[in-house]
Chains A and B, each alone.
Chain A
Amino acid sequence: MNSEVCELKELEVEHFEIREVLRCILHTIIFHRALGLIRPKAIDCELFEITYVQCGDAEVEKKIEEKIDEFINKVEKHPNRKSQICLSFYEIKNKQSTWFGNNKVERLYWEHWYIYLHVINPKAHGKSHHNKATTDLGGEALEQSTSRHAALESSIREVLFQIIRFVNEKKDHLPSIPNHEGISFPYEITILSSSDSSFGWHTDVLKRMLQTGHPTMIS
């Protein structure tokens, strides 16, 4: 079984948009991976004219919200940086005790999704402003903000299309479903250390991939 990786298009977001963007993307991915019986829930984004689908599982929602909180906290400490969130699906393999002397539960990751966010701060505003579009700005700045918002919305849509395309094209690597109800595969969300330099950026990615312990390299 191969491990597949999907790197989503990078999004430039302002601080106040992070939550909605992440919700949208994470829930969409999980919806396509929750292959147990679910009752889908369509949710409208508050900030964008986008409707995404949740799998309807309260546990999942809670976990996602927690991760988003964690991400936002991290990002606040290092503003104006590129960050990434990795959503990984794995299989649990129980390994018999070897010369380690105890049973090791090993995770075999079969899919990684990388969400790249570049949290920006429009220069005219401090971090604390949440309603940039409504503050007293010159008309030009307002216009820029609006167009940036529209561009982001269309980028988010592109990312969602990207997810759907990937889900459609790569189906063979899915393992057998361990859990019938709701979330069928165990998953984890990791916030990778943000970095400014592009070199460090890729280093993080490579390090992460190597940590999976899976012999197969990403194609």
Chain B
Amino acid sequence: MAESSRTEQIITQFYLKALHAILGSRIPHLHGDPSSSSAAVRVRKRDRWFNLALGDLPPALDHPHHSVMDPMIIDVILTPRAAPAAAEVVVERWTAQCESAPISWNHTPDSSSSFLFRRTYKKSILLLRSLYSFLRLLPAYRVFRMLSSSNQSYNYDLSYRVSSFAEPFSRVEERELKLHSFTPVETQFGQLVVSVQYRPTLSDFNIEVSSLLPSMIITDYVGSPAAEPMRAFPSSPYEGGARPMSFSLRGHRTSANPSAHRPHSWTSAPLAHHPMSSSPIPASDATFSPPDVYGNRISSQRPATHRKGSFSFDEFKLSPPFSPSPTPSPPAHGSSYLQSRLRSETAPVSIPQPPTGKSQVHRSPNLSDPTRSFLPPPSPRSMRTDLSSQNSPLESRSFRKSEGLRIGDTYSNMQLFTAQKSLKDGRDDSGRFSSVLSSGGSPRLGFSRSSSRLSIQDDLDDGDFSYPFAVDDVDTSDSQTRNLDRKEAPESVQASSHKSQDAAVGILVHMLKTAPPLRQDESYLSQSSRSELNREIGTSSLFMSRKTSDALEELQSYKEIKDILLSRSGTQLLESVQHRKE
């Protein structure tokens, strides 16, 4: 491999690793905590770069910088949840770039060509080490830790923006920022410089636990009727005329903001990182496949074999895991380094329309597609997600192995679902539901929220509902809850087939929540909830823009629903609840 291409690959991988390190310590719930996985986990080849194993990179990030000479600018942004995008503050700006050196590199006396890139590699290892430590000494790290705690919901969000260009700070802002520059690393192409402008103190921000309702599941999350056209979902026995739903998610913005035309797109505020962020996918009803856009590219970067024999590293005994592929092809998009804007859609999922019979417990949509069924999750004990599961969307099925889900932990598994949701049942419903699910007493329930907040629409008044399951009445036994789920699934709302999909989902969820245990009289449901359902339908069209974090929470609820279904069908093993440390 030519010297220059090796150097280029080192620099490219350096950018990627630096990005990973920075986001991993600034963006809550970026992906499963790598440090929690045992040391025995096989270190992937990508991880070996710079001898710093940071764990799996979210697929969105797994895209090399398209040009080594372009700077990579990462803004870490603190946004108040309640306030609009204008209130966002850049608390840190990390800049990594390769500055052309005026002196030719070849002037050094012992500059044999095979020596230079090794020295570059060794020095960049050191640089990354110090970057990693330094990240934890800045004030933003403490904020990150606070927001990452899964049991609390805060009034601020940390998000990021990556690009090749960023608007310079205003004078006022500049004065408030401190600059720290790491010693440059010499490369064949110039000096690799990493620097950070940061706020030396974040005490001005009153970051505290938000007063929003605690972890809840938006179980009746539905897409707005004005949603993008959805692809018809392969028929399932339960479709019965219900229209499939699709969700699309917009990630944080970049300088280009092409999704603005969407009626229910998120605010332009940068959103919490989404693992499925990808470069712009055409705004069509493409099925969920954002990683596929880069899938080929990514896979080409990661050959199965690691060629070590092509060159020797006698001097430093360092072997960067070069891939045999040539320099990465530039991405299709323009100057932005990573399209942080998320555009992906899940394959539509149909609301199961169970027949009146109880025989068909659940029929989730075709699971070979990256879709999820939408039934409420089972009891808390049965819900843990595998935190170390891979980020790839194709591996997201792995979450079914675990019983529970933690909101924050599902990021690595989640498909992209936008929250175009109108909360049908309102707060009480969700609150009740979550308490049903949290009745197991496990603090690690997927419904405990961290920084992502569940948006409960206060204006939906469902106070008149009387639920058969008061919080206290919830039986923590697994069997009961399972019965509940099993019972809920077959319950159908006959009228829903003619309603909008929103209504259908909402009704279904409501049904699931209000369904009595199996041993109770089935007729209970039909008499009490029918009227309530009708009332719910009227409010189904309400829509509120939500943030990605909310969408992801909802996604989790769907995943839990899926888990229930899978456990119901007996296709999945019940795994013990995994305990996650923060």
Q: B112-141 CB contact bits vs A (8 Å, 1 = yes)? A: 000000000011011101101110110001
Are A168 and B52 in contact, with the CB atoms below 8 A? Answer: no
Query: What is the total of A-B residue contacts with beta carbons within 8 Å?
Result: 86
Are A38 and B53 in contact, with the CB atoms below 8 A? Answer: yes
Given A36-B51, A38-B53, the answer on whether A161 and B126 have CB atoms closer than 8 Å is no
| Distance of A171 Cα from B124 Cα, bound (Å) | 10
From the candidates A32, A50, A51, A177, name the one contacting B129 in the complex (CB within 8 A).
A32
Are B133 and A38 in contact, with the CB atoms below 8 A? Answer: no
With a CB–CB cut-off of 8 A, which chain B residues contact A164? 130, 133-134, 137
Are A177 and B53 in contact, with the CB atoms below 8 A? Answer: no
Q: Choose, from A39-47, A73-81, A141-149, A186-194, the stretch at the interface.
A: A39-47
Are B127 and A168 in contact, with the CB atoms below 8 A? Answer: yes
Q: Choose, from B57-65, B315-323, B421-429, the stretch at the interface.
A: B315-323
From the candidates A40, A157, A167, A178, name the one contacting B52 in the complex (CB within 8 A).
A40
Are B136 and A38 in contact, with the CB atoms below 8 A? Answer: no
With a CB–CB cut-off of 8 A, which chain A residues contact B240? none
Given A37-B51, A168-B182, the answer on whether A42 and B136 have CB atoms closer than 8 Å is yes
From the candidates B51, B127, B133, B182, name the one contacting A53 in the complex (CB within 8 A).
B133
| Distance of A28 Cα from B135 Cα, bound (Å) | 13
B295 within 8 A of A: no
Are A157 and B137 in contact, with the CB atoms below 8 A? Answer: yes
From the candidates B35, B122, B183, name the one contacting A35 in the complex (CB within 8 A).
B122
Given A32-B126, A36-B51, A40-B52, the answer on whether A53 and B142 have CB atoms closer than 8 Å is no
Q: A19-62 CB contact bits vs B (8 Å, 1 = yes)? A: 00000000010011001111111100000011111001000000
| Distance of A160 Cα from B133 Cα, bound (Å) | 9
CB distance from B139 to the nearest CB of A (A): 10
CB distance from A164 to the nearest CB of B (A): 5
Q: Which residue of A lies closest to B315 (CB)?
A: A176
With a CB–CB cut-off of 8 A, which chain B residues contact A169? 183
Chief secondary structure at chain A's binding surface: mixed
CB distance from B420 to the nearest CB of A (A): 37
Are A177 and B317 in contact, with the CB atoms below 8 A? Answer: yes
| Distance of A168 Cα from B128 Cα, bound (Å) | 10
From the candidates B25, B122, B130, B317, name the one contacting A167 in the complex (CB within 8 A).
B130
With a CB–CB cut-off of 8 A, which chain B residues contact A52? 133, 136
| Distance of A171 Cα from B129 Cα, bound (Å) | 12
B358 within 8 A of A: no
CB distance from A167 to the nearest CB of B (A): 5
Chain A contact residue count (CB 8 A cutoff): 31
CB distance from B118 to the nearest CB of A (A): 10
CB distance from A162 to the nearest CB of B (A): 11
Q: Which residue of A lies closest to B48 (CB)?
A: A37
A63 within 8 A of B: no
With a CB–CB cut-off of 8 A, which chain B residues contact A56? 39
B34 within 8 A of A: yes
A180 within 8 A of B: yes
CB distance from B157 to the nearest CB of A (A): 21
Are B137 and A35 in contact, with the CB atoms below 8 A? Answer: no
Q: Which residue of B lies closest to A170 (CB)?
A: B183
With a CB–CB cut-off of 8 A, which chain A residues contact B48? 37
Q: A146-184 CB contact bits vs B (8 Å, 1 = yes)? A: 000000000001001101100111010010111010000
Are B126 and A53 in contact, with the CB atoms below 8 A? Answer: no
From the candidates B55, B130, B182, name the one contacting A32 in the complex (CB within 8 A).
B130
| Distance of A180 Cα from B122 Cα, bound (Å) | 12
With a CB–CB cut-off of 8 A, which chain B residues contact A174? 122, 126
Are A39 and B53 in contact, with the CB atoms below 8 A? Answer: yes
B85 within 8 A of A: no
CB distance from A40 to the nearest CB of B (A): 6
Q: Which residue of A lies closest to B51 (CB)?
A: A37
CB distance from A59 to the nearest CB of B (A): 13
User: Which residues of chain B from 323 to 356 have a CB within 8 Å of any chain A CB?
Assistant: none
From the candidates A37, A42, A49, A53, name the one contacting B53 in the complex (CB within 8 A).
A37
B573 within 8 A of A: no
Are A176 and B317 in contact, with the CB atoms below 8 A? Answer: yes
B293 within 8 A of A: no
B260 within 8 A of A: no
Q: Which residue of A lies closest to B130 (CB)?
A: A164
| Distance of A38 Cα from B39 Cα, bound (Å) | 10
| Distance of A40 Cα from B55 Cα, bound (Å) | 10
Given A56-B39, A168-B183, the answer on whether A35 and B130 have CB atoms closer than 8 Å is no
| Distance of A192 Cα from B142 Cα, bound (Å) | 35
Are A28 and B133 in contact, with the CB atoms below 8 A? Answer: yes
With a CB–CB cut-off of 8 A, which chain B residues contact A160? 133, 137
With a CB–CB cut-off of 8 A, which chain A residues contact B39? 39, 56
Q: B52-79 CB contact bits vs A (8 Å, 1 = yes)? A: 1111000000000000000000000000
With a CB–CB cut-off of 8 A, which chain B residues contact A178? 317
Q: B498-538 CB contact bits vs A (8 Å, 1 = yes)? A: 00000000000000000000000000000000000000000
B43 within 8 A of A: yes
| Distance of A49 Cα from B203 Cα, bound (Å) | 14
CB distance from A193 to the nearest CB of B (A): 31
With a CB–CB cut-off of 8 A, which chain A residues contact B132? 31, 40, 53
With a CB–CB cut-off of 8 A, which chain B residues contact A39? 34-35, 39, 43, 53-55
| Distance of A174 Cα from B48 Cα, bound (Å) | 21
Are B129 and A31 in contact, with the CB atoms below 8 A? Answer: yes
Are B35 and A41 in contact, with the CB atoms below 8 A? Answer: yes
With a CB–CB cut-off of 8 A, which chain B residues contact A180? 51, 317-318
| Distance of A21 Cα from B54 Cα, bound (Å) | 26
| Distance of A87 Cα from B134 Cα, bound (Å) | 21
Binding site for A on B (CB under 8 A): 25, 34-35, 39, 43, 48, 51-55, 122-123, 125-127, 129-130, 132-134, 136-137, 141-142, 145, 182-183, 315-318
Please provide the 7 A-B residue pairs with the shortest distance between their CB atoms, ordered closest to farther: A168-B183, A39-B53, A51-B136, A37-B51, A164-B130, A32-B129, A177-B317
6 A-B residue contacts at CB 8 Å? A39-B39, A52-B136, A164-B133, A176-B317, A177-B318, A178-B317
Q: A42-B35, A160-B133 are in contact. List 16 more A-B contacts (CB 8 A).
A: A35-B318, A42-B136, A50-B137, A51-B145, A157-B137, A160-B137, A161-B137, A164-B130, A164-B134, A168-B182, A171-B122, A174-B122, A174-B126, A177-B318, A180-B317, A180-B318
